Amino acid sequence: MSTLEYYVPGVYSHGDCVKIVETIEFYVSQEQSQTLRYICSMVDDWEVQNTYSEPMVWIGIYIAIASLVCIIAMAADLLRGFRNKKLWFPCKYFTLNAASITVITVAMKLPVDLSSEMLSYMDQAAKLGGLAFMCTMMANFMPSLAAMDNKTLLANIIGLSILVITMIVNIFIQIKTGVIKHISFNLLNVYSSSFDCVMVAYIYMAMIILLLMVMISSSLTIPASKEILEVKYQTTNKASLSDLHLQHSQMSKVEKLRQHVRRNWVMTETGSPQFVMASNPLSIASGVICVIVLVLNLLVVFEVPYGYHGEQKVYGSAYKWSILFIVITQSIGVLVATIAPMFRCFSVLNFKLATKWNMTHLMVFKVEKYWTQKLCEWERSPIHFLSSNRSRTLIYNLKSVIISLCIRLQKVIVILCKVISLIPTIIPIFAVYCLYCWKSLEARLVNLPVISRTDDIDEGLSNYVLQIHDEAEFAEKTLTRISNSLNSIILKAEKEQNKELLELLEKSTGFKGVENFDTDHVQCLLSVELVNSWSLPIVTLTGIIVSLPNIRKDTIKSLLRSVGEGLSYTHLVEESLNCENEYVNIRKATIILWNEVEHKRKWLDEALEKDAFRGKTATEILKWFSDRAKEIVREINEGISGETLENAPKELIAANSMYRIANTILLRDESNTEQINEEHLFALLSGMIADIFSACFTNLPLVITVKCHESVIEKRELSVKAAAKLLGKTTKIIERLETCELPSMDPDKISYVDEWRLYLKRSIP
C-alpha cells in the first residue's frame, strides 16, 4: 500500500499497478484486493484523462490567437478612423460576415466549454472575460450592418444569433452544473458575499441578449433608413447637377469639378448608412453597455493578481498556462473594442446643440415611423403560398398577431435605447448650454452683442447635407471636418501626378494623331471590322517603339512609365463611358497585351527587344510587324465567323490593330520623299500616342462626374473618393486641355475614339 501512496502519473502505468496488486493479493484479504484493483482502475482513468487533456494547452493558444485576430481588425478600424478624422469609426476590417463569425466562434471556446473543469479563479476569469469580449465585439459590429444589402444582412444576423443563443444556453447550463462557481471578489470587501462570478455571468448574459436584440432591431430599421436617404440623395443630386450646369463661366473646369466633388462628398459622408447607424440611439446605447462591461471586466481581471482565494492552484483546468494568455489577450480586446462604441456615444457633437433639437431629442417616448416601417410592411403583405382561403386567413391573422408583438417589442427596444442614450447625450448638451449662458452673461456685463456663428456656415455646402432627422442641423465644425478630409485626399493625389506623362502630353500638337494612326486605305482582313478603343492603338504604337533597337533604353523606360500611367486613366474612361460588350472585350484584351509589353517586352509571345531587329531599317521593322500580324489574323480568322467577332480572341484583336497601324505608317512612308529613320519614327509614334491620350483625357471631367453619382448606396463613398483622387491626379492634365480648342462634337459621341476619327475626317477642308 505504501507504494500507491507515492504514485505519480506518468511514472507507473496501468500494467505496473496490476502487477503490484497481483504480487501482494495472496497476502491480503479479498476485500482489500478488490479495493486495490479499484484504485488501479482510477490510476488508469487518470492516465487516460492526462493523455486526452494534453492538446488543451494548444487549443488555449488557438483561442488566444483567434482573439488576437479580432483585436487587430478592430485596432485597424480605430487607426483608420483617427487618421481620416472619422470619430464614429466606420467598419472596414472588423465587419459582420461568415469569416468574422467563424473566428469569434473559436475565440468563444471557453464560454461554451461544458465539460472542462474550471477550478481556479483564473479559469473563472477567463470564462467571464470571454463573455465581456463578446459584448464589446457585438457593439463594434453595429455600423457594419448598414454596409450590407438586405440578403447578406439577414444571413449574417441569423449566423450571429445562432452563435449568441448557443453561448447563452451553454453559460446557463454551466451555472446550473457548477462549472461557473460562486467565487467572491475579495477586492469588493463588503459586497463580496453577494457579488460573485455567477452574478457577473448573469449580467453579461443580460448584456449580450440586449445587444443581440439591439442589433436585430437595427437590422429591421436599416432598409427604411436607406430608402429615406436614397430619396433625399436623388433630390439633392438633381440640384447638384443643375448647379454644375449653371455655374459661372469665369470658374475654371478644375474649380467646377472641385466644387461638384465636394458637394457630393458632403452628401456621401452625411448620408452614409454607417454614419447614420453610428449616430442613432441604438448605437449610442450599445456604447454605454460597452463602458459598463469594461468596468466589470476590469474588476474581474484585477481580482487575479490582487484578490486572495486561498491555497488553490493558479491553473486548475486542462488549459493550464494557456489560460493566462487567453485572459490577457481578451482583456486587451475588451479595452480596444470599447473605444469605438464609446466615441460613438458622443456623436451628438456632430450636430448643432440648438434648443429645438434638444427638446426633440429628449422626447424619448416618441418612436418615429421608420423604426417600424419594415415590420408594418410585413404585417400588411398578403399570403400567396396557400390555395385554401380559410388557411390563408388563419395564417394571415396569425402572422398579424406575431408581427404586432414584434412591433411593440421594437418600440420598447427603441425607447429603452433612447433612455440609455440620454446618459452620454445630456452631458455635452449641458456643457454647451452652460458655456452659452456664461458667454451671454459676460456679453451683458461688458455690453457686447452675442455673435451668432450661424452665418459663418457655408450655406451652399449645408444644403447638401443628408440626414434622416431634419430637426438635427449639422454643426459647422462637422461640415468643416468633412470638407477638409476631401481637401486632404485631393492634395495627396496631386502630389502623385506623373511628371513623365505630362512631358509626353507636351509632345501633342493637337488631335491629328487620333486620325492618322489608321486609314481606310489599308485593306480589311476581316469580314466585319473591329471597333477601336482608346487603349488599343496606344499599346500597339508603344510595342512598335519598344522594338526599335537604336533608341536609348532609358528613353524607352521613361515612355513605358508615362504610357502605363496614362493607360490607367484611359481604362477608367473606357470602363465608365464605353460599356458595350465589344468594348469590354477589347479592354480586357488590351490589359493583357499591355502587361506583356510592359513587363516581358513581348507582343503576342514575340520578343520586341530581339537581335533580329538590329541592322534593320525602321521600314523593315514595320514591314515585319505587318507581315506577322497579317499571318496571325488569317490563321485565327479561318475558324471565326463574322457573328463571333464581338467576343474575338485577344490575339486577333492585337494582330488586327498591329496590321492596320503598321500598314498606315508604311503607306505614309511611301508618300514621303525621304525614307523614315528610327528617330523620326519614334517622334512620329510618340506624337500619335500623346494626341490619342489628349483626346481621351477630354473625357476625364465626365468620368469624375459619373463616379460622383454611384447608384448603389453601399458603394457611393468609395466611388466619390475615387473621383476625388482622380481629380487630384489629373488636375494639371485637365488644366492643360482647357487651353486647347476642343472639337464641337455631340456629347454622346466624344467618348468614342472612332467617333473622333470620323469627325476629324469630315472636318478636313
Rounded distance, CA 12 to CA 422, Å? 66
- Tell me whether residue 757 is in a domain: no
- Tell me whether residue 30 is in a domain: yes
- Tell me whether residue 6 is in a domain: yes
- Tell me whether residue 476 is in a domain: yes
Nearest CA to 539 among 568, 519, 512, 576?
568
Q: Are residues 355 and 366 in the same domain?
A: yes
Helix (H, G, I), strand (E, B) or coil at 743: coil
Q: Are residues 462 and 546 in the same domain?
A: no
* Residue 423 Cα distances to 159, 412, 419, angstroms: 31, 18, 8
Rounded distance, CA 756 to CA 44, Å? 89
Are 411 and 421 in contact, with CB atoms under 8 Å apart? no
Rounded distance, CA 145 to CA 152, Å? 9
Q: Which residue segment(s) compose the domain that 7 sits in? A: 2-53
Pure H helices in 280-388:
281-306, 322-344, 355-361, 369-380
Rounded distance, CA 215 to CA 319, Å? 33
Give the model confidence (pLDDT) of 593-633 as tens digits: 999 999 999 998 888 877 778 888 888 999 999 999 999 99
Q: Are residues 287 and 328 in the same domain?
A: yes
- For the residues of 282-294, what is the DSSP string, one character each? HHHHHHHHHHHHH
- For the residues of 21-39, what is the DSSP string, one character each? HHHHGGGS-HHHHHHHHHH
> Quick one: which H or E segment has residue 503?
helix 499-505
Query: Which residue did the predictor score with more confidence, 471 or 50?
Result: 471
Q: Are residues 333 and 453 in the same domain?
A: yes
pLDDT of residue 421: 85
Q: Are residues 542 and 588 in the same domain?
A: yes
Exposed / middle / buried, residue 559 (Cβ in 10 Å: 0-12, 13-18, 19+)? buried
Q: Are residues 453 and 319 in the same domain?
A: yes
Q: Are residues 538 and 416 in the same domain?
A: no
Rounded distance, CA 621 to CA 550, Å? 12
pLDDT of residue 399: 87
- Tell me whether residue 748 is in a domain: no
Mean pLDDT score, 301-327: 69
Query: Which residue did the predictor score with more confidence, 96 or 356?
Result: 96
CA 48 to chain centre: 48
Q: Put residue 529 in one of left, alpha, beta given phi > 0 → left and psi -120 to 50 → alpha.
A: beta
Rounded distance, CA 720 to CA 267, Å? 10
Q: Are residues 46 and 141 in the same domain?
A: no
- Tell me whether residue 597 is in a domain: yes
Rounded distance, CA 721 to CA 80, Å? 15
Mean pLDDT score, 154-167: 95
Segment among 239-243, 258-262, 573-577 with least mean pLDDT: 239-243
| Residue 415 binned pLDDT confidence (cut-offs 50, 70, 90) | very high
Give the model confidence (pLDDT) of 492-531 as tens digits: 999 988 889 999 999 988 888 898 898 888 888 887 788 8
Q: What is the DSSP letter of 597?
A: I
Mean pLDDT score, 443-463: 54
Nearest CA to 270 among 351, 162, 344, 184?
351
- Residue at a domain's end among 495, 516, 538: 495
Is the pLDDT at 55 greater than 90? The verdict is no
Q: Which residues are registered as beta bridge partners of 9?
A: 12
Give the model confidence (pLDDT) of 528-577 as tens digits: 788 899 999 999 999 999 999 888 989 999 999 999 999 999 999 999 99
| Residue 30 binned pLDDT confidence (cut-offs 50, 70, 90) | low
pLDDT of residue 311: 47
* Cell numbers describing residue 728: 487630384
Q: Are residues 23 and 67 in the same domain?
A: no
Helix (H, G, I), strand (E, B) or coil at 600: helix
Q: Are residues 396 and 482 in the same domain?
A: yes
Segment among 61-65, 377-381, 467-471 with least mean pLDDT: 467-471
Report the number of distinct structural domains present in the chain.
3
Q: Are residues 45 and 74 in the same domain?
A: no
Rounded distance, CA 309 to CA 274, Å? 46
- Tell me whether residue 239 is in a domain: no
pLDDT of residue 2: 43
pLDDT of residue 155: 94
pLDDT of residue 731: 94
pLDDT of residue 190: 44
* Cell numbers describing residue 105: 466562434
pLDDT of residue 523: 86
| φ, ψ of residue 116 in degrees (nearest 5) | -75, 135
- Residue at a domain's end among 671, 692, 713: 692
pLDDT of residue 105: 95
Give the model confidence (pLDDT) of 699-730 as tens digits: 999 999 999 988 888 889 999 999 999 999 99
| Residue 308 binned pLDDT confidence (cut-offs 50, 70, 90) | very low
User: For the chain, what is the mean pLDDT?
Assistant: 83
Q: Are residues 122 and 149 in the same domain?
A: yes
- Residue at a domain's end among 692, 727, 754: 692
- Tell me whether residue 353 is in a domain: yes
